[in-house]
Amino acid sequence: MSSSADDLYDFILVGAGSASCLITSRLSQQLPDHRILVLEAGEHIRNDPKVQTPGLAHTLQSNPIYDWQYSTGLEPGLNERSIKHPRGKLVGGTSAINSHSIVFPNYEWHDRLAKGLLTDAGVNDWSSEGMKECYARWQDENSQTKANHDEESPDRVQTSFPRSIDFLQSQWMRVFEDFGHTAVATGFTESSVGPVMVTNAIDASKGERSHAGTAFLEPALKRGNVTLRTGVKVDKIVFDKVLTGGKLNATGVRYTHQGEEHFISGREIVLCAGVFESPLILERSGVGSKEVLAAADVPVLYELPGVGENLQDHLNCSLSFETHDDVPTRDNVYRDPEVQKAALLEYEQSRTGRLSEGAAYSFAFTPLQMLETQSETQQLTEMVRHLVEETSSPSLQAQYAFIQKTSENPHEATATTFMLRTQRNRDTDSLPKGTPSIVPGNYVTVVAMLAHPFSRGSCHISSDLSIGPVINFNYLSHPLDTEILARHLRLIERLFQQPTFLAMAKPGGRRLPRSFPHPISSLEDAKKILPINSATNYHPCGTCSMMKEELRGVVDERLKVYGTNNIRVCDASVLPIIPRGNILTAVYAFAEKAAEIICRETKASCQSD
């Protein structure tokens, strides 16, 4: 094993994903005299048209050049399907392969997190008031007319609205107006109900994807105090044999590069390896559940049973209706290769057209009370209260009480709902072999994404350390997820009966999913659809949760791993309860707060020395 006595870094960041790139940027600016090392298992892929072109995002997922291609075990709640979970295999992480939409958490989520799951010491940092600047700092909204944008703000992700609002996007706003809900504010705000036009992580001045690698790490690498090493697989954290202050003290990390083992020394380790890999690195290092470590023959250095637990994801389900032939959906791209060629040519010539934009801008924050009767709402409220009271685990009791407040508040979304201007087929596995993946016609699809699921899963090392993580989400394992998501399918059906959508629907037109090609007439209809037509929104989080240790948390309010002096975690794994909407906004904001805390503590330590 090779090592160098001179190779001592102040900070070693494991992973070069969304959070790591941002933290590196901030540390390189604010701590210019400190040496920073970033270790990335993937590669630094620059100037790749597939990454840069917004409309080609779908070609990156499942492509082994760009995607680690994780998948779950067989999920009983989803008809024993194994669910793919793409994660970015390049600098920038999943922000470099995702589908761009920018949806923010709400104030209430942060306030409940800070006051209900953390000690009093964390309230100021993690409440909505303490996080406002963090949500504002990482992004910069822009338009295609803004010039030299990179020079003006090189350390922010560029976000933008669509260049123009098309027919279906305007109709999305109108369908909510049909029953009294006007557009609500985007961004990090208090909860509100209704439709919202969101931005996408696209630099409109270039018509290109804006991700963490380009926005944060590229500028940081030019400052002289940051070193990036790619193709590096971190095996474990190495600790002093003697405890310091009764806690483990990390001396560095052991990693493999091109088949050779290396050791690198660091004063502080920040794990940013992602929701699936950060817990595995802790477990391989001897921090985790004694049962999991014993099965893998790893000595327990600090027992922390929450490592790898509390795994959550946004499950979604959709309904589609066929529109009149003259409604301008985007289904023609599936049917006509010439449409695809024309779109690519337009993009190459002018960076305009459908390939210059993301797939989804039309969202809505939808509590069930929006279209439920009072008796329907009361029935669910009583069911939630009963099942939460039955919960025996202190950790789940705290989390479920958090979600219960959301479900009872008519101003908070129990699902984030969004519109796709095309058909969506997620039930192919349940249909006869050879069934075409695309159906004829033009479609509007509305998707309900369960805001705060009750189901919990896990991600752990295998007893065979040479294979990847063992991932199980246990989708729909908690009965309330089925109850709430089924009710949101019923809400979508009621949306379809509003005048705006009815005017677009083709008389006698097809309905999707094909496995249930009829309007939903009962809650039982909706429940039957869930196992065969539900899908992930690719928002895994929670495996190194920031919670009190007695609640099975893994990191404290300073993002320090319990039982250690100098290891932090910051990526999607630290989100203790999944926020509404797409989680990337929260990951960036948590990274801003992590950098803020690290800089504050480092500067205080330097002054005391």
Model confidence at 4: pLDDT above 80: no
pLDDT score recorded for residue 465: 79
Tell me if 234 is assigned to a ligand binding site.
Answer: yes
Beta strand extents in 487-597 (DSSP E only): 511-512, 535-536, 567-569
Whole-model pTM over 0.95: yes
Under CATH, what is the fold of the domain 8-103+135-160+208-312+539-608? FAD/NAD(P)-binding domain (3.50.50)
> Which residues, at least 6 apart from 188, have a Cβ–Cβ distance to it below 8 Å?
104, 105, 106, 107, 128, 131, 132, 135, 136, 585, 589
Q: Which residues pair with 420 in a beta bridge?
A: 445
Please state which of the ranges 209-218, 270-279, 429-438, 595-604 shows the lowest mean pLDDT. Answer: 429-438
Query: According to CATH, where is 3.50.50.60 located in the chain?
Result: 8-103+135-160+208-312+539-608
374-389 residue pLDDT tens:
999 999 999 999 999 9
286-316 residue pLDDT tens:
999 999 999 999 999 999 999 999 999 999 9
Given a contact cutoff of 8 angstroms between Cβ atoms, the answer to whether 319 and 492 are in contact is: yes
SS3 230: coil
Confidence class for position 153, pLDDT limits 50, 70, 90: very low
What are the φ/ψ torsions at residue 302 (nearest 5 degrees)?
-150, 125
Stretch 185-200: mean pLDDT: 95
H or E segment and range at residue 352: none
Q: Which residues pair with 160 in a beta bridge?
A: 200
- CATH superfamily, domain 167-207+313-371+410-453+479-536, is Glucose Oxidase, domain 3 (3.30.560.10)
Query: According to CATH, where is 3.30.560.10 located in the chain?
Result: 167-207+313-371+410-453+479-536
207-258 residue pLDDT tens:
999 999 999 999 999 999 999 999 999 999 999 999 999 999 999 999 999 9
Question: Average per-residue pLDDT in the chain?
Answer: 95
Choose among 581, 459, 400: nearest CA to 83. 459
Stretch 45-51: mean pLDDT: 96
Q: Which residue has the higher pLDDT, 430 or 505?
A: 505
Confidence class for position 1, pLDDT limits 50, 70, 90: low
pLDDT score recorded for residue 608: 72
Stretch 120-148: mean pLDDT: 85
Query: 180: burial class by Cβ within 10 Å (0-12, 13-18, 19+)?
Result: exposed
pLDDT score recorded for residue 149: 43
563-587 residue pLDDT tens:
999 999 999 999 999 999 999 999 9
Say how far apart CA 226 and CA 216 lie, in whole Å. Answer: 12
pLDDT score recorded for residue 70: 97
Say how far apart CA 547 and CA 362 lie, in whole Å. Answer: 33
Tokens encoding 470? 């063992």
- Per-position DSSP letters for 191-215, written without gaps between them: ---EEEEPEESEETTTTEE--HIII
pLDDT score recorded for residue 5: 45
Choose among 481, 485, 473: nearest CA to 541. 473
Say how far apart CA 496 and CA 530 lie, in whole Å. Answer: 18
Model confidence at 144: pLDDT above 60: no
H or E segment and range at residue 234: strand 232-239
pLDDT score recorded for residue 3: 60
24-42 residue pLDDT tens:
999 999 999 999 999 999 9
- Residue owning tokens 């992930």: 536
